[in-house]
Structure 1
């Protein structure tokens, strides 16, 4: 009996095998269920209009109270962002070029605000001049213990960044039917909340109450959309075009490439500045946006150039990540260079389908050198 192998089966099993070898799960069956469930959900979400840069890693991602929902399983997932389904805001369709609101600040206020927003994930993709627009558009908001910053069910008006204070995040207790609330998270002196209600026409799905006196920095809906969303949209389009020119990434589908574009951050290096240092631990890989770089290795105590200059559209730094080894060469900027940087944890999560191609390229590097 002749059996026809379904289209895509080989690629699907290859990707699953790569994931198993990379993550080494203790329970293969549970891992398989979780893996294929995530793949299925990812395929469903190919047209999801999400323009905010979001890292799905728990340690790197600030919890967002508007994403909290009543617990539906034994494990606590409140600190993870949940998907939303509502009317979207489309930055590409928004032709409003009106300048963002500017709230005057003293030098001391700007210093405090700059420090408060430094670790906020949603601002990670912004260029320095756009970060200055963010700082200009935010205004200081002092709260007293017991104040409700946002109430579940209200319309979204502002996005908030915490400078100081303790804040409880609560949702209505659906099972009690008595109007009571239960606490699902607490912010302690840092973090941000409120952005999802600004992205969609949806009410707040959690309440945030000040436990102590504190200080918040707020940005109104219009400024948030104008600065943050349009910037993220422009950067995504630029990076998608860059990634389409990388041969290694041809095996990624459009949704995977879009996710990769969202994870990239820009870095600029001046002439002769070291981008990667030989023998250092690998922190990520690089895609060359503008300029050229030269690659060197140390032999008999002397540093020598081993490859012709890499130009725009090239990538480097992946060897140490694939092999889980220190850097095997140094990379220097040849003139002013702009790169798109992919952190190690994002590399492992997003580039599984490309590992075989990378390994083949690494063999060619070894042979040619």
Structure 2
């Protein structure tokens, strides 16, 4: 009797095996129960919540989820309950039309201050931040005014310039305050990703000013830019030999953790300083040099797109052993120390085995060997 292997079984067992080897659980059976329970929960259709991003001092963690209320079937504002959640697909978005709302120098300065700490914007490049400044418009509010009503369609993403705002959720006919913004924060982003109503209300407690960005501009600038950057980083990482041992989802997580930095004829790494991360060269040329005991500086190499450097100081927990300078304009993808330790575990042993080679100034295929 022949047995037919169900579709997806191979992938399922492979992912489970990778998780076991990565986490090394003490009790394999308990781990398996938890693992497959989580997989099952992820497959269930879920109501799309509204998340609120607030300042780090308010929540302790920058990406903490403030609430996840369920939409009420009898909510009188729920005009689109029959519409299923539709995730935004950046690959299908070909809208390049920019929205520009004119602003005075004073307005532009206030807006720059308001958005500088917003998590959603931290991965954007300078030109994209300029698009953000252009696309946002000012909105004044007064006490008792509803900025967002539970059940309404998502139209704008909001950043607080000034004022106090309460977050309210109505369940069973009772309205409950679950959070308060005090002159900082942002809200309304996830409702722009789905064809679902708002799942909470935001009401002004005082006079205040908000900066708003419409749905299309938000998707074009924030989501599509993030998608393109991830694809670019994934392609960059695929060409790094030392990362071939990573699973595709691990490279994807690594790509999401990278931050673009730009240097122009300046120091990237200084010999003797503490290591804060490692670098992947996106474009441009770098110059690597070491300072000899007699004080003389010696150039030991130049490297360009596709190379990486800075990992050895992280592996050995030692100061940088060489300096790296940008020759002209250089763009790098930076991976900070915490992400390096968390995401590159499968590669660290290989890097350690090559450390003696690095120290002898032999240039391996991908690594800039003098600058760690």
Query: Contact (CA 8 Å) 1:62, 1:120: kept in 2 or not?
Result: no
Compute the displacement of 1:195 (Å). Answer: 1.0
Q: 1:208/1:9 Cα in 2 relative to 1: closer, same or farther (>3 Å)?
A: closer
Checking the alignment, whether the CA contact within 8 Å between 1:295 and 1:331 is kept in structure 2 is: yes
How many correspondences in the alignment?
323
Q: Deviations over 1:50-85 (max 9, x none)?
A: xxxx9xx975635566xx2159xxxxxxxxxxxxx9
SS across alignment from 2:157? strand
Q: Aligned runs of 1:101-112 on 2, under 5 Å?
A: 101-112=99-110
Distance 2:194 2:16 in 1: 37
Cα distance in 1, alignment partners of residues 173 and 146 from structure 2? 20
The residue correspondences of 1:133-212 to structure 2 (distance < 5 A) are: 133-173=131-171, 177-183=172-178, 185-212=179-206
More divergent stretch after superposition (192-201 vs 260-269): 260-269
The corresponding residue for 1:74 is: none
Instruction: Name 1:79's counterpart in structure 2.
Output: none
Distance 1:303 1:214, change over 3 A: farther
Are residues 249 and 313 of structure 1, via their aligned partners in 2, closer, same or farther at CA, if it must alter by over 3 Å? same
Inter-partner Cα distance in structure 2 for 1:264 and 1:364: 26
Determine the structure 2 residue equivalent to 1:259. Answer: 253
Whole-angstrom CA distance in 2 between matches of 1:319 and 1:282: 9
How far apart, in 2, do the equivalents of 1:8 and 1:157 lie? Answer: 38
Equivalent residue in structure 1 for 2:334, among 323, 334, 341: 341
- Per the TM alignment, residue 116 of structure 1 is displaced from its structure 2 partner at its CA by 0.9
CA 1:306–1:159: 2 relative to 1, 3 Å: same
Quickly say closer, same or farther: Cα 1:182–1:8, change in 2 above 3 A: closer
- Aligned twin of 2:23: 16
Q: Whole-Å Cα distance in 1 between the matches of residues 147 and 257 of structure 2?
A: 31
Residues 154 and 293 of structure 1, relative CA distance in 2, 3 Å threshold:
same
| 1:63/1:303 CA distance change after superposition, 3 Å | farther
Matches within 5 A, 1:29-68: 37=35, 61=62, 68=67
Runs of 4+ in 1 over 6 A off after TM superposition: 6-10
Shift of 1:223: 1.2
User: Corresponding residue for 1:327?
Assistant: 320
Query: Secondary structure at the residue paired with 2:354?
Result: helix
SS of aligned partner of 2:272 = coil
Instruction: Tell me how large the CA RMSD over aligned residues is.
Output: 3.4
SS of 2:324 mapped into structure 1: strand
TM-score in terms of structure 2 length: 0.76
Displacement, 1:201?
Answer: 1.4
Q: Is the 8 A contact 2:272 2:319 kept in 1?
A: yes
- What's the counterpart of residue 89 of structure 2? 90
Q: Distance in 2 between matches of 1:303 and 1:214?
A: 59
Query: Alpha carbons of 1:166 and 1:8: their partners in 2 closer, same or farther (altered >3 Å)?
Result: closer
Instruction: Give me the whole-angstrom Cα distance separating, in 2, the residues matched to 1:349 and 1:312.
Output: 25
